[in-house]
Structure 1
Amino acid sequence: MMVIEAKGLTKVFPLEDGRAVKALCGVDLSVPEGQLTALVGPDGAGKTTLMRLICGLMTKTAGRLAVAGIDVTAEPQAVQDLLSYMPQKFGLYEDLTVQENLDLYADLHGVPQDVREKRFAHLLAMTELAPFTARLAGKLSGGMKQKLGLACTLVRSPKLLLLDEPTVGVDPLSRRELWQILQQLVREEHLSVFVSTAYMEEAALCEMVYVLNRGRFLKVGTPQALRQIAAGTCYAVCPPAGMPLRSLQSRLLAEDGVLDAVPSGGVVRFTTRGEPQQLLVLARLGIGAEAVAPRLEDGFMTLLKEDAATDGKGDGLPETAANFGAGTFSAAPVSEAPVEIEVHDLVRKFGDFTAVAHTSFSVHRGEVFGLLGPNGAGKTTTFRMLCGLLPATSGRLSVAGVNLRTARIEARANVGYVAQKFSLYSSLSVYENLRFFGGAYGLSGYHLFERIEAVMAEFHLREVADQAAGSLPGGYKQRLSMAAALIHEPKILFLDEPTSGIDPLARRTFWREITALSERGTTIIITTHFMEEAEYCDRFMIQDHGRMLVLGSPEEIRQRMRLPDATMDDIFVAIVEQARSEAEKDSKAKGAVS
Structure 2
Amino acid sequence: MNTADSDIAIRLRSLSHAFAGRPALHALDADIRRGIITGLVGPDGAGKTTLLRLMAGLLKPDSGSLQVEGLDPVTAGDALRTQLGYMPQKFGLYEDLTVLENLTLYADLRGVTGAAREESFQRLLAFTDLARFTDRLAGKLSGGMKQKLGLACTLLGSPRILLLDEPCVGVDPISRRELWRMVSSLADGGMAVLWSTSYLDEAELCGEVLLMHEGRLQYSGSPQALMDSMQGRSLLLQGIAGNRRQVLRRALRCPQVIDGALQGHAVRLVLRTAGELPDLSSLQAGPDASLQAVKPRLEDAFIDLLGGGPGGDSPLTEHMPPARLPDGVDADAVIVAEQLTRRFGDFVATDHVDFRIRRGEIFGLLGPNGAGKSTTFKMMCGLLPVSSGAARVMGLDLKKSASQARQQIGYMAQKFALYSNLSVAQNLEFFSGIYGLSGARQRAAVTDMVRVFALQPFLAMNAGELPLGFKQRLALACALMHQPPLLFLDEPTSGVDPVSRREFWSHINSLVDKGVTVMVTTHFMDEAEYCDRIGLVYRGRMIASGTPDELKAMVASPALPDPGMEDAFIALVERDDRLREAT
Q: Which TM-score band (shorter chain)?
A: over 0.9
Instruction: Work out whether residues 319 and 460 of structure 1, in 8 Å CA contact, stay in contact via their aligned partners in 2.
Output: no
Instruction: Work out whether residues 397 and 405 of structure 1, in 8 Å CA contact, stay in contact via their aligned partners in 2.
Output: yes
Following superposition, the deviation at residue 74 of structure 1 comes to 2.4
Task: Determine the C-alpha separation between the residues in 2 that align with 1:393 and 1:470.
Answer: 36
Query: In the alignment, does 2:79 pair up with 1:75?
Result: no
Of residues 383-392 and 31-40 in structure 1, the stretch that sits farther from structure 2 once superposed is 31-40
- How is 1:163-562 mapped onto 2 (pairs within 5 angstroms)? 163-188=164-189, 190-238=190-238, 240-244=240-244, 246-264=245-263, 266-274=265-273, 275-278=276-279, 281-282=282-283, 285-286=286-287, 287-305=289-307, 315=310, 319-320=314-315, 337-562=331-556
Task: Determine the C-alpha separation between the residues in 2 that align with 1:229 and 1:322.
Answer: 36
Deviations 1:21-75 (A, max 9, x none): 2111111121112221110000010100001011010111111111011122322
Following superposition, the deviation at residue 503 of structure 1 comes to 1.0
Task: Determine the C-alpha separation between the residues in 2 that align with 1:119 and 1:61.
Answer: 37
Deviations 1:412-445 (A, max 9, x none): 1100111111321222221221112112212122
- 1:561 and 1:337, CA in 2 relative to 1: closer, same or farther beyond 3 A? farther
Task: Determine the C-alpha separation between the residues in 2 that align with 1:185 and 1:573.
Answer: 24
- How is 1:52-63 mapped onto 2 (pairs within 5 angstroms)? 52-63=53-64
Higher helix share: 1
Provide the secondary structure at the position in 1 that maps to 2:19: strand
Q: Which residue of 1 aligns with 2:564?
A: 567
Task: Determine the C-alpha separation between the residues in 2 that align with 1:228 and 1:240.
Answer: 28
Instruction: Work out whether residues 40 and 197 of structure 2, in 8 Å CA contact, stay in contact via their aligned partners in 1.
Output: yes
Query: In the alignment, does 2:582 pair up with 1:581?
Result: no
- How is 1:80-95 mapped onto 2 (pairs within 5 angstroms)? 80-95=81-96
Query: In the alignment, does 2:115 pair up with 1:114?
Result: yes
Provide the secondary structure at the position in 2 that maps to 1:435: helix
Following superposition, the deviation at residue 196 of structure 1 comes to 0.4
Following superposition, the deviation at residue 7 of structure 1 comes to 1.1
Deviations 1:174-199 (A, max 9, x none): 000000001111123x1110110111
Of residues 346-355 and 394-403 in structure 1, the stretch that sits farther from structure 2 once superposed is 394-403
Query: In the alignment, does 2:12 pair up with 1:6?
Result: yes
Letter in 2 for 1:571: A
Task: Determine the C-alpha separation between the residues in 2 that align with 1:367 and 1:282.
Answer: 22
Instruction: Work out whether residues 372 and 527 of structure 1, in 8 Å CA contact, stay in contact via their aligned partners in 2.
Output: yes
Of residues 400-409 and 315-324 in structure 1, the stretch that sits farther from structure 2 once superposed is 315-324
Provide the secondary structure at the position in 1 that maps to 2:28: strand
- 1:567 and 1:265, CA in 2 relative to 1: closer, same or farther beyond 3 A? farther
Deviations 1:274-322 (A, max 9, x none): 422436643674533122221211111111126xxxxxxx849885269
Following superposition, the deviation at residue 247 of structure 1 comes to 3.9
Instruction: Work out whether residues 318 and 459 of structure 1, in 8 Å CA contact, stay in contact via their aligned partners in 2.
Output: no
Q: Which residue of 2 aligns with 1:17?
A: none
Of residues 437-446 and 153-162 in structure 1, the stretch that sits farther from structure 2 once superposed is 437-446
Q: Which residue of 2 aligns with 1:309?
A: none
Letter in 2 for 1:256: P
TM-score w.r.t. the length of structure 2 is 0.92
Instruction: Work out whether residues 541 and 548 of structure 1, in 8 Å CA contact, stay in contact via their aligned partners in 2.
Output: yes
Q: Which residue of 2 aligns with 1:327?
A: none
Task: Determine the C-alpha separation between the residues in 2 that align with 1:252 and 1:457.
Answer: 26
Task: Determine the C-alpha separation between the residues in 2 that align with 1:283 and 1:158.
Answer: 57
Letter in 2 for 1:196: S
Unaligned runs of 5+ in 2: 1-5, 320-329
Instruction: Work out whether residues 65 and 73 of structure 1, in 8 Å CA contact, stay in contact via their aligned partners in 2.
Output: no
Instruction: Work out whether residues 314 and 510 of structure 2, in 8 Å CA contact, stay in contact via their aligned partners in 1.
Output: no
Letter in 1 for 2:553: Q
Instruction: Work out whether residues 144 and 176 of structure 2, in 8 Å CA contact, stay in contact via their aligned partners in 1.
Output: yes
TM-score w.r.t. the length of structure 1 is 0.91
Instruction: Work out whether residues 265 and 566 of structure 1, in 8 Å CA contact, stay in contact via their aligned partners in 2.
Output: no
CA RMSD of aligned residues (A): 2.0
Following superposition, the deviation at residue 115 of structure 1 comes to 1.0
Q: Which residue of 1 aligns with 2:327?
A: none
Provide the secondary structure at the position in 2 that maps to 1:71: coil
Task: Determine the C-alpha separation between the residues in 1 that align with 2:186 and 2:301.
Answer: 28
- How is 1:142-161 mapped onto 2 (pairs within 5 angstroms)? 142-161=143-162
Q: Which residue of 2 aligns with 1:591?
A: none
Letter in 1 for 2:225: A
Instruction: Work out whether residues 416 and 492 of structure 2, in 8 Å CA contact, stay in contact via their aligned partners in 1.
Output: no
Query: In the alignment, does 2:22 pair up with 1:25?
Result: no
Instruction: Work out whether residues 3 and 69 of structure 1, in 8 Å CA contact, stay in contact via their aligned partners in 2.
Output: yes
- 1:570 and 1:174, CA in 2 relative to 1: closer, same or farther beyond 3 A? same
Provide the secondary structure at the position in 2 that maps to 1:526: strand
- 1:321 and 1:162, CA in 2 relative to 1: closer, same or farther beyond 3 A? farther
Letter in 2 for 1:253: L
Identity %: 49
Of residues 466-475 and 375-384 in structure 1, the stretch that sits farther from structure 2 once superposed is 466-475
Following superposition, the deviation at residue 87 of structure 1 comes to 0.5
Task: Determine the C-alpha separation between the residues in 1 that align with 2:261 and 2:76.
Answer: 46
Of residues 119-128 and 552-561 in structure 1, the stretch that sits farther from structure 2 once superposed is 552-561
Provide the secondary structure at the position in 2 that maps to 1:392: coil
Provide the secondary structure at the position in 1 that maps to 2:225: helix
Task: Determine the C-alpha separation between the residues in 2 that align with 1:322 and 1:66.
Answer: 51
